[in-house]
Every structure is written in C-alpha cells, then in structure tokens.
A and B are shown apart, each in its own frame.
Chain A
Amino acid sequence: MVATTAPPAPGSTRTPPPRPPRERRRPSELTPEDRWTAAGCAVSALSLTWLVFARLTDGVGWFGFVVVAYVAFLILFALVTTDRLGRLAGIDRVATVAVSTATIVLFVPLLWLVGYVVKRGLPALRPSFFTEDLAGIGGDALATDGGGKHAIIGTLEQVGLALVFTVPLAVSCAVFLNESRSRFRRPVRIVVDAMSGLPSVVAGLFVFAVFIIPFADRAPVFGWHVFGYNGFMASLALSMIMIPTVTRTVDVVLRLVPDGLREAGLALGASRARVVWSVVLPTARSGVTTAVVLGIARAVGETAPLLFTSFGYDLVNRNPFDGPQDSLPLFVWKNVQKPSHASIDRGFTGALVLMIVVLTLFVIARVVGRDRSRARHRGLRARVATLVPSRREARP
C-alpha cells in the first residue's frame, strides 16, 4: 500500500523488485485434499482396529470397536495433517474434526433410542390402546389386548391439576423476580435454581411425608380419601417439579420485554399491576406459553415421584381425589418389568405413546416460542427497501 501511494523518491529510477505472488492462506479452509486425508485416515483406522480386534485379540463388541476406531482415527488424522500442514494447522484441523464428530456422536444415542422405542412399540399399537384398560388382562394375554386408557386419563388429570397449581404460582414468582424491587429477589432466584435440581424422587417423598403419612388413618372426606395414594397427591409432586422449570423460563422471557414498554405504560399513568397485566405479560405471551408447555413436557414423563403418590392402578379411575390412579409413565414402568413378553411389548407401546406426547409438546414449545421478531424485521426491511430508490431519486 505504502509503496503504491507514496510519491516516488526524487532521483530514484529504481522500481521496487516484483514481489513473489503470496499464496493466500485461509486457516479455516477445507480443501478437497483435506477431505481425502480424512477419508483415508478413517479407512485406515477402521482396518487397523479390525486387524487388532478381529485377528489379533478376541473382540470388543461393536460398541467398543467404534470407540477404539474413533480414537485411532483421531490419532492417525493428527499425524497425517501435522506432517502435511505443520503443527499449528494440524492441531487446528484435529480440533475441528474432534469437535464436529463429538456433536454427531451426541445424536447417535438419540436416534437409536427413538428408533428402538418405535420399533418395539409400534407393532402392538392399536386404536384399542386408547379405549381399553387392563381389566382382566392376565399374564397370557396378547400384547395387543388391553390398553392404556386408564393411564392416559390419569396423566391428563394429574398434569392438568398440576398446571392449576403451577401456572399462577410460577408466573407470579417470575413477575416477582423481574418487576419488583424487593431485596429478596436474589435469594429467591437462587432457591428457584436449587429447586430445579431437586431430585424428583425427593419431591415424591416430600408429598408423601407431608400429606399421606399423617392423614393415613383419617376418615375419608365426602367418601374420598383425599390424603391417600391418589392423583391429586401426584399432581402436587409434579407441580414441585414444574414450578422451577416454568418460573425460570418465564423469568428469562420477561427479561426480554423492552424496558421502554414498561416505562411508556407507567408514564401514561398506569399502575405497576396494570403495566404487568396489560403490557408485560401480553408482550411475553408466546414465551409464557412456551414455558408452560416445557413444564408439561417435563412433568408428563416423570415416574419417580408417582411411586410415592399415585401408586398406579390397572383400571380406570376417573376421580383424581380418591384412590390410586395410573399414568403413562407408571404404566410403562410397571409393564416393562413384568416377566411376560406381551406385557413388555405393551409397556413399549405405552412408551411410544409417551414419547409421541413429549415430542409433540416439545415441537409445540419450539414453534410457539420461536423468535418472531426476526420475521417481523424482515418484513420491515422489505418495506424499507421499497422506499430506498425513491429516496435516492429525490437526492440531487
């Protein structure tokens, strides 16, 4: 740059010597050679591992094989690239490969698990699964006999009840964390964090200790054993698990509401309560919905707390306030542990239904909670773009 812009020194007729063309180097570039190197290393790692385990020793099973082959591949790849490109670039390439493959490794178990549950659960899935319970189903019944109607009813009632307790409490708690100026905000936030790590079985034990033990011998209220093994107790335990999940998600969403909106509301003379109710919460509506759906997804699959609260039952029990009640996780848990194959298959059918429910909830949460602001900005930018040419014409 300097050589071209500076005026030539007086009296000097020498032209600067032509520079050797510098090779442009992009550190993160992926050339075809790199790909071939990687492929070659993979092949040689596979053959090496095969040689060691199939020929020289007596095998590690395919899981061990993959692990060893992967490590061998990384070592080989490190050696080859270091030799080819030097130490610095070599380390960089190996890190790239290790980081990317670790991410792929993560999804193998995910696909494996989902695939396995579908494979085991699908053959016995009939419409009757949703319309029958386990009345009269013995050890010799087929996997397609009976169904999980009672479990589905139980899950719906328990999660529904848990929502009734959770949503008001969790949303007001999140509002407390964001909109108040209390000095207890920090301790409460720490406690909510700590509660989200509460082992679910402890939540079950807690409800058991507080309600079920002391009232065990109490006479039923209106003929209902309200404080015994029942769906209501399960919903209490489930809300213990949902409260931190929902609170923290809502808390994060409320933090994203621009302060300008709050200030505008207050400046117009609205009360704080009014601002929260009419400005903050409506703005964060989709985020709050996401939080609730995520909370449901978390609670729907919980098994451990139910062992101490709703206990499980094989027949339809529509009343969550009286008597043991089944739910999908308990249904799966009980059936896969029975000795007969038909029961295990029935359990897997339940697992498939449970998985579909959870995945559907998850997708709903993602779709509802998607950041819409970007789409809106895109629309805005398009509108601005139509304005731009006219502005340019107006300029002299």
Chain B
Amino acid sequence: MHVTLRRVRFTAAVTAAATPRPRQVSDEPTRIDRIFGFVTTGAGMTVFVLLGLVGLFLLLRSREAFDVAGWSFFTRVEWRSDTSPPEIGVLGLLTGTVIVAAIAVVVAVPLGTCTALFITDYASARVRGPLTGLVDLLAAIPSLLYGIWGFFVFGAQVVPLSKFLTRHLGWIPIFATEEEAVFTGSMFIAGLVVSLMVLPIIAAVSREVFSQTPQGEKEAALALGGTRWGMIRQVVLPYGKGGIIGGSMLGLGRALGETIAVYMLLPQVPKLTIRILENGGATISGFIARRAGNDQEIPGLMAAGLVLFLLTLATNMLASVIISRSRSGAGIDA
C-alpha cells in the first residue's frame, strides 16, 4: 500500500520547505480535476443515455408495425406477416414468455434458496469458497450450451416424466395434453432448462443477504436452545426475505429475456395455451431470434422487442427497489 502512495508527487511540500511562506490554500478544483469530473460524469451519463436510446429506437422502428396493427397488436395471438396487411400480435408470445419464466422461477427459487442457505449456514468454511465458485460457474456457461444440451439430451429424458404427469394428473388443466401429443419441445422442458440459468443469480443474491444476518441474532437463537433449522426459520429467513423476493424477481427478469436456449427448445409458433407438457409455445425473445434476417418483418419484431424490453426493465427495476428497500439488502448490488 505504501508502495502505491509513494507515487504521488508532493511537490508542494518540497517548495514549502525551501521558502517558509504561507501559501494560498484554495478549494477550487484544479483543471485536471475538472476534466476528470467531466469524463467520469460523461461515462455515467452515457450508460443512462444508452438505455434511453434502446427504448427510443425500438419505438421508432416499430411505429410502422403499431400503425398497421394498432391496439390489436396486444390482443392478437397469431403472427401472420404474409397476409396484407400483416396480422401480427404479441399476445401468444407474451403468454409463452411468462409461462416459461414462471416455470423456471418456481423450480429455481427453492433450489437457489437452499443452495444459498447451505453455503452460508451449513457448509464448513473450507467448502464455502469452492461451492460459491461452482454456482458462479453455472452462470458462466453460455446459454447456447444449455440450449444444445437441453435439445439433444435433457429434453428426451424428461419426456417419460411428462407422459406420466399427463396420464395421472391430466385433470389439472396445465398438465392436460391432446391425444398422441408430442412431448419434446414443450414449455415444461424449456422452463426446466431456463431454471438452471436463473438459479445462480437467485442463489447469489440470497447468499449475499443471508451472509449479512447479524451474527448476534443467530447466536441468540442458538443460545435459547433453538435447532439450526429453528434459527434459520426465525432469524435468517425473515431477515433475508427481501433478498429472496428481490432475487427471485431478478431471476424472473433473466428468464423473461432468455433467448437462445428457448429458441432451440421451443417450436416458436405463437399459440394461446397453458398446456405446458406438450410440444408448442413461443417466447418473444426466441421468436425474434427465429425470425432474424427476414427484412419485411423487422417492424413487427422491433415492436415485440419493445414489449420484451419494457417487461424486463420493469421487472428488474422492481427487483432492485425491493432489494434495496429491505432491511437486509441495503448496500447489496442486485
């Protein structure tokens, strides 16, 4: 540390020693400081502007689509661009996006919370580091690899489970399927794969929050004779509630925007359905990827992209607010 400090030049001290005269002390920022402030503020503002530009340009480019489709863009399920005028609507995509993301979050939240609890309260200090690294590794693997894994292996392994569910629990609407349905390429499989991708963020946020639980409160719970689970239920979980909720919403935001894996796992045909076990379904992001390169569809895709952008933005902002407002989350980066 002192090595770094030595690099600071203190010319002022040297000259002062030569002529012991009181020198003018001023609070004015020097020119270099002003440039520095300008540059860093500029960088901060750039990020600000960039996000605004994303929304603005998506809106500009999608105007054509909104002009043609009007409000029916939000109520129409099908997406037919070959008719004149094109009949495009985002409703079928939107429901698919939300269903896949919901499945992912429902699977990932308990697993992620348990992982976080294990890391903070069960694992010994020696395995804590490697475990955290492994969870981060899960986040580092590209979405594309999850996609091809889900497409080539994992999907086929889930099919028997889907069949079993529909045969015995088919009376529940979401598990119902048609006769002789195809079970690959279902929203259930896509949701499971996406859940793996959102797990790390949920685990990371919950872990941060759990690890900030006041040690005194935990020890007090144990000293009163509580079991470890009792301590977790009465102290850690209430303390980290904001983090769990916020982390889940962040995961939801990621799941909504997940593109390539969902593109590979779903047929991307817009349809209004809640039958998650059979082949079918589309998400906004996957659909946009599927139609990339079709020049005449661009306005419609931009409009769909705008809807997705606003949806994820709202989810993420809400998550950040929840985390930072909670007792435990102050000072944590979501």
Say whether A195 contacts B50, CB under 8 Å: yes
A297 contacts the other chain (CB 8 A): yes
Report how far A194 CA is from B50 CA in the complex, Å: 12
Chain A residue at minimal CB-CB distance from B157: A63
Taking a contact as CB atoms under 8 Å apart, the answer to whether B48 and A301 are in contact is no
CA distance A193 to B260 in the complex (A): 22
From B30, B160, B263, name the one whose CB has the most chain A CB atoms within 10 angstroms. B160
Q: Is B58's beta carbon under 8 Å from chain A? A: yes
User: Once the chains bind, are A307 and B51 in contact (CB under 8 Å)?
Assistant: no
Is B159 interfacial (CB 8 A cutoff)?
Answer: yes
In contact, A197 and B257 (Cβ under 8 angstroms): yes
Minimum C-beta distance from A180 to chain B (A): 6
CB <8 Å contact, A61 and B157: yes
B145 in complex: contacting residue of A188, A192, A265, A355, CB < 8 Å: A355
In contact, B8 and A274 (Cβ under 8 angstroms): yes
B12 within 8 A of A: yes
Report B37 CB to chain A, min CB distance, Å. 7
B298 adjacent to chain A (CB < 8 Å): yes
Which chain B residues in 139-187 approach chain A with CB under 8 Å? 140-146, 148-149, 151-154, 157-161, 163-164, 168
The residues of B that contact A244 with a CB separation of less than 8 Å are 47
Asked whether A209 is an interface residue with its Cβ less than 8 Å from the other chain, the reply is: yes
**How many Å lie between the Cα of A61 and that of B189 in the bound state?**
14
Which of A94-102, A139-147, A388-396 is the contact stretch?
A94-102
Interface residue? B111 (CB, 8 A): yes
Given A88-B230, A307-B289, A358-B142, A197:B316 Cβ within 8 A: yes
Q: Does A354 interact with chain B (Cβ within 8 Å)?
A: yes
| Interface residue A177 (Cβ < 8 Å from any Cβ of B) | yes
Which chain B residues border A361 with CB–CB below 8 Å? Answer: 140
Residues of chain B within 8 A (CB-CB) of A176 are 40-41, 43-44
Report A329-376 residues with CB < 8 Å from chain B CB. 329, 332-333, 336, 347-348, 351, 354-355, 358-359, 361-362, 366
Chain A residues whose C-beta falls within 8 Å of the C-beta of B48 in the assembled complex:
184, 187-188, 191
Answer whether residue B71 sits at the interface, using C-beta atoms and an 8 A cutoff: no
* Chain B proximity mask over A249-275: 1 for CB below 8 Å, otherwise 0: 001100000000100110011111111
Chain A CB within 10 A, most for which of B10, B36, B134: B36
Determine if B5 and A264 form an interchain contact, defined as CB atoms under 8 angstroms apart.
Answer: yes
| Smallest CB separation, A63 vs chain B (Å) | 5
B211 to chain A, nearest CB (A): 14
Query: Which of the segments A12-20, A36-44, A70-78, A199-207 contacts the partner chain?
Result: A199-207
How far does the alpha carbon of A251 sit from the alpha carbon of B332 in the complex, in Å? 12
The CA-CA distance from A61 to B260 in the complex, in Å, is 27
In residues 75-127 of chain A, which contact B (Cβ within 8 Å)?
88-89, 91-92, 95-96, 98-100, 102-103, 105-107, 109-110, 112-113, 116-117, 120
Residues of B within 8 A of A204 (CB): 292
Complex Cα distance, B285 from A304, in Å, reads 9
Beta-carbon contact of A190 and B317 below 8 Å:
yes
Report if A175 contacts B (CB, 8 A): yes
**In the complex, what residues of A have CB within 8 A of residue B135's CB?**
106
CB pair A191 B118 closer than 8 Å: no
A173 close to B50 (CB less than 8 A): no
Which residue from A63, A96, A106, A192 sits with its C-beta under 8 Å from B228? Answer: A96
- Chain A interface residue bracket vs B: 35 or more
CA of A99 to CA of B113, assembled, Å: 9
The answer, yes or no, to whether A153 is at the interface (CB within 8 Å) is no
Partner of A197 from the list B157, B259, B312 (CB cut-off 8 Å) is: B312
Q: What secondary structure prevails in chain B residues at the interface with A? A: helix
Any B CB within 8 A of the CB of A136: no
A197→B315 contact, CB < 8 A = yes
Q: Does B277 contact A (CB under 8 A)?
A: no
Closest A residue to B321 by beta carbon equals: A190
Q: How far is the CB of A164 from chain B (nearest CB, A)?
A: 15
CA distance A208 to B320 in the complex (A): 29
Measured between beta carbons, the chain A residues less than 8 angstroms from B12 are 269
Proximity bits, B39-66, A CB within 8 Å = 1, else 0:
1111111111011011001101100000
Partner of A199, one of B145, B230, B256: B256
Task: Report A153-186 CB contacts with B as 1/0, cut-off 8 Å.
Answer: 0000000000000001110110111011010110
Of B8, B29, B289, B320, which contacts A265 at CB under 8 A? Answer: B8
Given A64-B160, A273-B35: A205 touches B144 (CB 8 Å cut-off): no
Q: Is the CB of B148 within 8 A of A336?
A: yes
- Confirm or deny: B274 has a beta carbon within 8 angstroms of a beta carbon on chain A: no
Whether A276 sits at the interface, judged by CB under 8 Å, is yes
In the complex, residue of chain A having the shortest beta-carbon distance to the beta carbon of B31:
A271
Bound complex: CA A328 to CA B123 (Å): 38
Which A residues from 279 to 296 make CB contacts under 8 A with B?
279, 282-283, 294
Task: Answer whether A105 and B111 are a contact pair too, CB < 8 Å, given A110-B134, A110-B138, A197-B250.
Answer: yes
Which of B5, B41, B298 sits near A184, CB closer than 8 Å?
Answer: B41
- A91/B229 contact (C-beta < 8 A), A193-B333, A202-B305, A272-B36 known: yes
CB neighbours of A59 from chain B (8 A): 160, 164
**Please, how many angstroms separate the alpha-carbon atoms of A275 and B161 in the complex?**
61
Nearest-Cβ distance from residue B150 to partner chain A, whole angstroms: 9
Task: Report if B102 contacts A (CB, 8 A).
Answer: no
CB-based nearest B residue for A89: B227
Contact A348 B8 (CB under 8 A): no
Closest to B256 in A: A199
Contact B118 A301 (CB under 8 A): no
Per the 8 Å Cβ criterion, residues 292-334 of B in contact with A are: 292-293, 298, 301-302, 305, 308-309, 312-313, 315-317, 320, 333-334
B202 CB to closest chain A CB (Å) equals 11
**A268 neighbours in B (Cβ, 8 Å):** 5, 8, 10, 13
B98 at the A interface (CB under 8 A): no
- Decide if A325 is an interface residue (CB 8 Å cutoff): no
- Closest Cβ of chain A to B36, distance in Å, is 4
Most buried by B among A103, A191, A261: A103
Binding site for A on B (CB under 8 A): 1, 4-5, 7-13, 29-30, 32-33, 35-37, 39-48, 50-51, 53-54, 57-58, 60-61, 110-111, 114-115, 117-119, 122, 131, 133-138, 140-146, 148-149, 151-154, 157-161, 163-164, 168, 196, 199, 222, 226-230, 232, 250, 253-254, 256-260, 263, 285, 288-289, 292-293, 298, 301-302, 305, 308-309, 312-313, 315-317, 320, 333-334
> 5 A-B Cβ contacts within 8 A?
A102-B110, A116-B153, A180-B41, A294-B140, A359-B137
